[in-house]
Amino acid sequence: MRITVVGSGYVGLVASACFAELGHEVISVDNDAKKTELLQRGEIPIHEHFLPELLARHRGGRVCFSSNLGKAVDVTDAIFIAVGTPQGGDGYADLSYVESVARELARSIKDYKLIVEKSTVPVFTHDWVRKVMLLNGARADSFDVASNPEFLREGTAVSDFMYPDRIVIGADSAKAAALLREIYAPLTTGKYYATSNPIPAPDDADVPPRLIETSAKSAELIKHACNAFLAMKISFINAVANMCESVGADVRQVCDGIGADSRIGHRFLRPGIGYGGSCFPKDLMAFRAVARECNYDFRLLDEVININEDQRHRFLRKVRKALWTLRGKRLAILGLAFKGGTDDIRESPAIAIAEMLLKEGCTIQVYDPAAMNTARNVLPTSGVTYANSAYDAAQSADALLILSDWAEFAALDLQRLRKALAYPIVIDGRNLFDPAVMASLGFLYYSVGRPDVVPEPSPAGAIQE
């Protein structure tokens, strides 16, 4: 099919590349001319596994880039709206970009088009898109509006698109539902997985994926409810981890016991410094705002948000516990992105903690495999040094802080790390290391929801080798 994807951010760019990989002809449209020119040259503005390979494979063939929405609409069958929906006042999603696209589509369509919400939007958005298009001159029989929420994780977004847990299509007309089924047929029939060079399957891939057909309202609610539930699961296990610290239990053992229950599962039972990124914080606030508009006091969401915010402050107290005073301390920070595998620092707890430490009078030496360029635009220029590696960041530091769960951090040479540090103190906000191993190497090791590792000093007062 011929598809237009409006917006070339995380969702839009991944969707464009993946639809092309499925065999569709795709036009990626963005009103940012500079970004469009960059993409036309083959430069990619985000860090995402497999995305460079797909765009190199299909750029100039099945996928092209444009700033002209009207021309793109003329030659395509379906238009996916994947523009930003940032947090607005009182937590409501700012849907002005979606409205702007709807107005332009109304002026552009000449024959039947399927309009698909791909951005994360609150319930009733499809109704508003339809109303805006009708008010701006579109004929009622010239379009349908459907909802097709994305469930992509930054860092694994391409794999998530090609090997989804499920595909949700929310459509209120048989014609719209049929078109969406056709678009995703290469996945739901298994045809794509039989091709000669598919994207490698994750270990837990279940193919072909399940297709779930719902009303547009239900699809809109599914996306917000899903993100709210996952955020709740993270905050819940962080609260349990805090209880473990209070009573001297080990949250790893508790997670193992909880996750073994098939009704709960192990995923997202990973205590740390809290969730961040462009989705969970914004979507939780938007979902709560929708609930209030419906006269429902969704107080559970308030506590999810409160626990997540408190987790950052608890980590700062953990740093103070390890170091006593903070002013004048030189600290190494590993990780600035909100999680490993991405360069996204939006709502990153790592950035928030780094800023707290700078306000406390610390200097910081930071390293992240992908997010340092974006962090330079956010962190203060004073007191921050950007290192070339984890070991460079650790050099002569009073302590090492782990703030993002990059796989390469978990694989560090701990003996080399210990030699680089001025003092063998590690405060791990992602529980990447085994406390027993850290103890054997003579580290003072503090993590989340597990007993502190404080080796007995030698008679001379030094940490044992």
Show which residues are catalytic.
279
How many angstroms separate the CA atoms of 99 and 83, rounded? Answer: 10
Q: Is residue 225 within 8 Å of 181, Cβ to Cβ?
A: no
Under 8 Å CB-to-CB from 194, ≥6 apart: which residues? Answer: none
CA angle 333, 154, 10 (to 5 degrees): 120
The neighbour count for residue 57, using CB atoms within 10 Å, is 14
Provide the token pair at 325: 């005073």
Q: What's the full length of the chain, in residues? A: 465
DSSP string of 277-289, one letter each residue? TTTHHHHHHHHHH
Which amino acid type is present at position 323? L
How many angstroms separate the CA atoms of 163 and 199, rounded? Answer: 9
- Where are the strands (E) in 67-165, listed by range? 78-81, 113-117, 143-147
Of 4, 1, 21, the residue nearest 12 (C-alpha):
4
Q: Is residue 322 within 8 Å of 399, Cβ to Cβ?
A: yes
Backbone angles phi, psi at 254, to 5 degrees: -65, -45
Judged by DSSP in three states, 62 sits in coil
Under 8 Å CB-to-CB from 396, ≥6 apart: which residues? Answer: 330, 420, 421, 422
Provide the token pair at 225: 């409810």
CA distances from 225 to 82, 121, 295 (A): 19, 11, 17
CA angle 305, 309, 313 (to 5 degrees): 160
Q: Is residue 129 within 8 Å of 102, Cβ to Cβ?
A: yes
How many angstroms separate the CA atoms of 56 and 50, rounded? Answer: 10
